[in-house]
Structure 1
Amino acid sequence: MSIVETRTVKPADADQRLDRWFKQHFPALSFGHLQKLLRTGQIRVDGKRAKADYRLSAGDQIRIPPMGDMALPMKKAAPPPIRDADARLLQDAVLFRDEHVIVINKPPGLAVQGGTSIGKHLDGMLDALRFGASERPRLVHRLDKDTSGVLVLARSRLAAAALAKSFKDRTTKKTYWALVIGVPSPNEGEITSFMEKDGEEDERVRPGDKGQKAITEYKVIEAAGNAMSWLALRPVTGRTHQLRVHCAQLGTPIVSDGKYGGEDAFRDGVSAKLHLHARHIAIPHPVRGMIDVTAPLPPHMRETWSLFEFDPNMKQDVFDDD
C-alpha cells in the first residue's frame, strides 16, 4: 500500500487492542515499527493519536500510512487436509451449537493442540466445525490428550473473549468424573498445593512450595470396596495436570495414569486408558443466559462403570452449591 488509507473497524473487531488489530491485518509489521508509527502520529484513530493498547470500538476510523511490503500477508503453510472420518468424528461429538458457541465431547487420545511428536490434533481440524461460518472456531480452554469430555469452542473473537473471561473470573463451573485406585480419606474435601514444572518435555508437573497455586474440590460418589472409587472433581483453578496430580497426592491416583501413579495405577481387567472425564460444564453464554452441558462417558469408562455396576446416569453435580 503506497497511499494513506482509512479503514473502519468492523463489529467483529470491537474491543480489540489496536496493536492486535494491526497484527491481524498487517502480520509483517513488527511491533517496534508499529510503535514508531503510533509515536509519530502516522497512525491515528478518529483523527487522534492512539497507543498500542487502545481498545477499538465498532465504527472507529483508523488512519493507515503507506506500508509498502508490510501490507502483504505473510505466507503460511497450508494445513494438511482433514480426513472425512476425522471430520465426521468431530461433528458427531458436538453436544451444543449456536451462532456463538460450540461444545464438543472430546474423545480420549485426541490432543487439543500440536506439539512434539503430535501429528493429529483438534486445533488442526477445527475447519470441520465451521458449519458454514466465515470463521473457524477458536479454542477457549484445553483438556489433556488422554482426558475426554466437554470442551468449549468460540465461533468468533468476541465470543472467545467473553468465554475466556468466564474461565479467568471463575464463573465457569466444571465437574470431572474419575476412577481412582483406593478410597481417599476423608471422603470429601479440598486439596490445595503449589505446582511447578519438573523440566521434562512431556509437561509433567509436581507439587512443591512454589509455582502456581492449585485448588481442587473432591467427593467420593461410590466405592468398589477398598479397591477403587468413583470421584467427582471440581477444579477451582485450572493448572496443567492439576486433577491428576491432586488425586495422586491424596494417595489415590487415577486409574491407568502411569505418569503420576506409576505401575500401581493399572489393574487387570480394567482398560489401560486414563479414567478421567470432563463430565459437565456450566458457563455464562457470551450473549444470553447460561450454557449447561453434560458429556456422556467414553466407551472405555462406560465398560468400567458397567463392571462395577456404577450408574452413569446419576446427577452429574454433587457439590453443595449445585
Structure 2
Amino acid sequence: MLQRKTVHIGSSLLRESVKNQSCSISNVVSHPLQNSLRTYLHFCGYKQHPNFGFALKQTKILKQISRTLRTRRQAVSHLDSVLSDDVTDTDDTPPSRKPQDVIQTLSTKSDKFTVGKTRESEFQNKKPRKTGMDIAKELRQKKLNSDEPEKDTEENLVKKAVNAIKMTDFTYVEDEAIAKLIRRHVIYADNKMVIFNKPYGLSVHDGDGISKNVKQVLPMLSKMIYGVSTDVPLSLCHRLDKNTTGVLVCTADPALESHVKKMFRLNLVTRKMWAILVGIPHPQMGIVNIPIGQAQTTDKLTSKQFTRMVARPTVSYDKMTGEETARSFSRGQTAITKFRVMDSSRDVSLVEFEPETGVKHQIRLHAADCLDCPILGDHKYSKMDSLAPQKVPINILNRFKLPPTKTRYIPMHLHQSQILIPDVFDHPEKRHLVVGARMPVHMDRALRLFRLNPGKPSQWKVKAIPPPQLEAPPSDPSNPLFRNPQAETDLSNVKPVDPVDQCVFVFRSQLHVKYKKY
C-alpha cells in the first residue's frame, strides 16, 4: 500500500473507512462527487474497492458542498481544507478517528456552506456580474481620475501622432448621424438649393465597396432643413472625390438643377481648390494643358491590377535636344488646369488650382505627373506603378511626429475652397453666387505646422456665357435683334458693369429657409 508522509485527516479517514469496510455501499451511484473521490483515493494509494460507496446519511455534507462549489475538484480540495483545520495525520501518528467522527466534524463545520434559504439569500445579495463594457468604463474613469500623467514612451508618442491625423471612417456610422453632420456643415440654403462643406472620407455617390454616401442621406437632410412634414427632393449637381473636402451643391428645383448642371458641363463654373504639395512647383504660376485618360496598370509588388488616370500628351519632348514632336494619336480627354503657388516652406507648398475642365482626378494627376509635386497624402498618384503608401521626406514626418511606417495614415490635403455659379438668381443686379468653405481640421493643422500663409485671395473672373446663335439677318428691320446705327446714342461715357459686382458672396452659414414643424 502506497504511503505518504503527510496527508490530510480527510484522506486518512477515508482510507480507514475503506480498509475496515465501515462505509457500506448504497444506492447513491449518481452522486456528483463519486468520480472525484474515487480518483482522490486512487491517488492516495488505494485501488478501487468493490464495496466503495457512501451512504445517504454520510454524504449529506458532501451534497451541501457540491451545491456551492462549481467543480468536483474544488469540492474535494475544499473538503480537505476543512478537515485539515484541526488535525494533520503523519506516518508516525496513525489515524485514530472513526468515520463517524469525520461526519460529526463536517457537521460542526457546515456553517461554512450555504444551504436552503441561506443560499437563496446569498444569491439575492450577490452583486451582478461585470461585463466587458463595465470594466472598460472603470478603466477609463481611473485614467481620468488619475493625477499621474502617462509615460511618454515611444509607443505612446506614435499612437498620439497617429490619432491626431487619423480621419473618421463612415463605414459603421448610421445614416442619421451622417445627415446631422452634413446639416452642421451647411453654408447656404434657400427654397431652391442647398450648399454644404463635404466632410473628409465620405463618398458622394454609391459604387462598388461603398456603403455610406451623401446621396443616400439627402432625404434626411431635406427634412432637417425644410421640416419634418415636408418632402422636398434634393439632387446632386456635381461630384467630389471621397478624400476631397469642400463646396458641394444640391438643388431642390428641377429648373435650377438643369441650369447648374449645364453650367458645370460647359465649364462655366469657376472653382478654386487649395492643396498642400510635396515639393515646390517650378514655375510658380502657369497653366497645365495635357490630356489625360484612364488606363489599367499593374502593381510591381503585389502584381495586382488597378485603374488609374494617366497623362496622354499630344506632344513628345526630347530632354537631350529640347525638340518637340507631335504625336499622331492620343486617346486622352482635354484637361486644362491653372495653378498659382500661394506660399512655400521647406519641401512643401500651398498651391491654388483653378481647373478649366472637369476630368476625373484632373488636379491630382497634373500635380503628381506633370508638376512632379504630388499632393500630400495622395497615396494613389504618388507612384506610377505602385499602390504603396506615399514616400514623404523625413522633415515632413518630423513635423507630424510620425515614423516612416505610419505614412499611410496621412490624409489627402485637397480642398475645394470657393466656387462661383453664374446666373443663379433672377435679380437684375445680383445674379451670380460665390460660396466659400472653411478648410478641414487636418489641413488647418498642416498649415500651422508648416507655417504656410495663404495671403490675399486672387480676383474672381466671371466667364462669359455665349449668346444663342440665330440665323436671322441683322439687317432685317423686322428682326428683334436689328440695330439701327443712326438711332443709337453715345455710350462712351457709360461705365461697363463688372460681373464681380453682380455676385453674392457667402462665406458664413446663411439659411434663408423657414423650418416647418407641422
TM-score by length of 1: 0.69
Shift of 1:202: 6.4
User: Do residues 104 (structure 1) and 196 (structure 2) align?
Assistant: yes
In structure 2, how many angstroms separate the alpha carbons of the residues matched to 1:224 and 1:234?
A: 22
Q: Which residue of 1 aligns with 2:376?
A: 255
User: Do residues 206 (structure 1) and 298 (structure 2) align?
Assistant: no
Shift of 1:118: 0.4
C-alpha contact (below 8 Å) 2:195/2:247 kept by paired residues: yes
Shift of 1:285: 4.6
Q: Are residues 285 and 138 of structure 1, via their aligned partners in 2, closer, same or farther at CA, if it must alter by over 3 Å?
A: farther
Superposed CA offset, 1:26-82 (max 9, x none): xxxxxxxxxxxxxxxxxxxxxxxxxxxxxxxxxxxxxxxxxxxxxxxxxxxxxxx96
Superposed CA offset, 1:223-266 (max 9, x none): 003x0100000000001000000001210010011101142357
Task: Classify the secondary structure of the residue corresponding to 1:86.
Answer: helix
Q: Which residue of 2 aligns with 1:317?
A: 458
In structure 2, how many angstroms separate the alpha carbons of the residues matched to 1:292 and 1:202?
A: 37
Q: Which residue of 2 aligns with 1:137?
A: 234
Shift of 1:99: 1.1
Residue type matched to 1:317 in 2?
Answer: S
Q: Which residue of 2 aligns with 1:237?
A: 357
User: Do residues 308 (structure 1) and 450 (structure 2) align?
Assistant: yes
C-alpha contact (below 8 Å) 1:179/1:229 kept by paired residues: yes
Structure 1 residues without counterparts, runs of 5 or longer: 1-80
User: Do residues 162 (structure 1) and 259 (structure 2) align?
Assistant: yes
In structure 2, how many angstroms separate the alpha carbons of the residues matched to 1:122 and 1:168?
A: 21
Residue type matched to 2:439 in 1?
Answer: L
Q: Which residue of 2 aligns with 1:68?
A: none
Task: Classify the secondary structure of the residue corresponding to 2:195.
Answer: strand
Shift of 1:315: 3.9
Task: Classify the secondary structure of the residue corresponding to 1:222.
Answer: strand
Provide the alpha-carbon RMSD of the alignment.
2.3
Residue type matched to 1:152 in 2?
Answer: V
Residue type matched to 2:365 in 1?
Answer: V
Shift of 1:85: 1.8
Q: Which residue of 2 aligns with 1:220?
A: 341
What count of residue pairs does the alignment treat as equivalent? 241
Residue type matched to 1:279 in 2?
Answer: S
Task: Classify the secondary structure of the residue corresponding to 1:177.
Answer: strand
Shift of 1:128: 2.4
TM-score by length of 2: 0.44
Structure 2 residues without counterparts, runs of 5 or longer: 1-172, 298-304, 313-329, 384-389, 401-408, 463-499, 501-518
Residue type matched to 2:416 in 1?
Answer: A
Residue type matched to 1:245 in 2?
Answer: L
C-alpha contact (below 8 Å) 1:191/1:216 kept by paired residues: yes
Shift of 1:107: 0.7
C-alpha contact (below 8 Å) 2:345/2:451 kept by paired residues: no
Task: Classify the secondary structure of the residue corresponding to 1:259.
Answer: coil
User: Do residues 279 (structure 1) and 279 (structure 2) align?
Assistant: no
Q: Post-superposition, which runs of at least 4 consecutive aligned residues in structure 1 deviate over 6 A?
A: 319-322
In structure 2, how many angstroms separate the alpha carbons of the residues matched to 1:181 and 1:233?
A: 15
Task: Classify the secondary structure of the residue corresponding to 1:253.
Answer: coil
Residue type matched to 1:97 in 2?
Answer: A
